[in-house]
Amino acid sequence: MERLAIHGGKPVRDHVIYYGRQWIDDSDVRAVGEVLKGSLITCGPKVEELERRLERYTGARHAVAVCNGTAALHCACMAAGIGPGDEVITTPLTFAASANCVLYCGATPVFADVNPETYNIDPESIREHITEATKAVIAVDFTGQAVEYEAIRAICDEFHLILIEDASHAIATSYKGKKIGSLADMTCFSFHPVKTITGGEGGAVTTDHEEFYKKLVLAHTHGITHDESLMEGAPHEGPWYYEQIALGYNYRLTDFQAALIMSQMDRLDAFAARRKEITKTYDEAFACLPGIIVQKEIADSDTCRHLYVIRLDLDKLTCTRREFFDAMSAEHVQCQVHYVPVYWFPYYAHLGYKKGLCPRAEEIYSAIMSIPLYPLLSDQDVQDVICAVKKVCGFYRK
């Protein structure tokens, strides 16, 4: 049995490889540089250009670019009219922003459990948590895999609920041949550096609904408008005149970030193809590996993975998840865990949420970790990751 690096053995690779990383090339630098050397670096034409580009890519009628994915979620909740007394159902197996955006509006997040094989929110668990106070569902495309849209849409239609999609992981995923971004009432994207494309930060909301679009525009620009048809006060005095007609936020994206995101979109198909290629290699390597459970996918989702999650079968291993994680780090393969169930955090505990709300999500969390996945990985990098997983599994196998 090969000695683990954590016990003094030779690591599988000489240099550390991280779970995620952006890919910035010369074309990205040029795109940003051109804007920085121009007259307008914010409130200029590039943001609108990005919005039109996102509309064409997703097939949605409208797109609103914002400063990050959290802002996108908050704006969507505001546009949906979510407020005090409302409940919004979401998943606990996500980044905290998916639920925090509900709290920002004074409403109550309600956590539904997940499918034990796909790790996405379970439609039947959504149904079980609906009350008279339920206003919306925020469904998260965890790791990039599309949720079970038809089932969730049917539930939302039956109970007259607004469907918001947190597609922070899923910019290049399709569901039954349709791009993510054109399916839910509103769809939220993130352009954080470890996502499929990046603007450093950045986000967007897409929608087909005109009324939601108008509210999204107001929500991300202080509630201020230059549109005469929306103004309520004094007569329009000139081109400088504007009115605040709602309470909004400064969630604007800069023009140089928009330029970077558009430059990244030029390579989005190539990024997605490489992510799919790496995912296929991992799936084949781990399909029959004792000690590892591979995340399942629904046939309807043509998935571009943002994350590749392995789940440890701890009944077949002599180690804990932490021991496995540390052993991988010693092999110079740095992993991460996505995610701690949201309601486990102290802030949520202070609000009255208790452990045990979603047993399947908690069980999955206890044994998962994300291994490296991004287009810059070479074939050798991928094989090193596989070698490290197999090496650590082999050492700790019962």
191-232 pLDDT tens trace? 999 999 999 999 999 999 999 999 999 999 999 998 888 888
For helices 379-396 and 321-330, angle between their N-to-C axes, nearest 10 degrees:
130
The CA angle 172-66-267, to the nearest 5 degrees, is 30
Paired tokens of 362 = 């908690």
Task: Give residue 23's identity as a one-letter amino acid code.
Answer: W
Radius of gyration of the chain (CA): 22
**Domain spanning 26-265 has what CATH number?**
3.40.640.10
Q: How many CA atoms lie within 13 A of 266 on its CB side?
A: 13
Average pLDDT, the chain: 97
Binned at pLDDT 50, 70 and 90, residue 234 comes out as: low
pTM of the model: 0.97
49, 263 Cβ separation under 8 angstroms? no
Name the residue ranges covered by the structural domains of the chain. 5-22+268-396, 26-265
Fold of domain 5-22+268-396: Aspartate Aminotransferase, domain 1 (3.90.1150)
Strands (E), 202-355: 203-207, 224-225, 243-244, 292-294, 301-302, 308-312
Binned at pLDDT 50, 70 and 90, residue 240 comes out as: confident
pLDDT for position 218: 97
- pLDDT tens digits, 55-86: 999 999 999 999 999 999 999 999 999 999 99
Binned at pLDDT 50, 70 and 90, residue 237 comes out as: confident
- pLDDT tens digits, 346-385: 999 999 999 999 999 999 999 999 999 999 999 999 999 9
At 239, which helix (H) or strand (E)? none
Signed CA dihedral, 132, 123, 370, 74: sign only: negative
pLDDT for position 89: 99
Q: Which residue has the tokens 């956590």?
A: 111
Binned at pLDDT 50, 70 and 90, residue 233 comes out as: low
Query: What percent of the chain shows pLDDT beyond 90?
Result: 95
Binned at pLDDT 50, 70 and 90, residue 239 comes out as: confident
pLDDT for position 229: 83
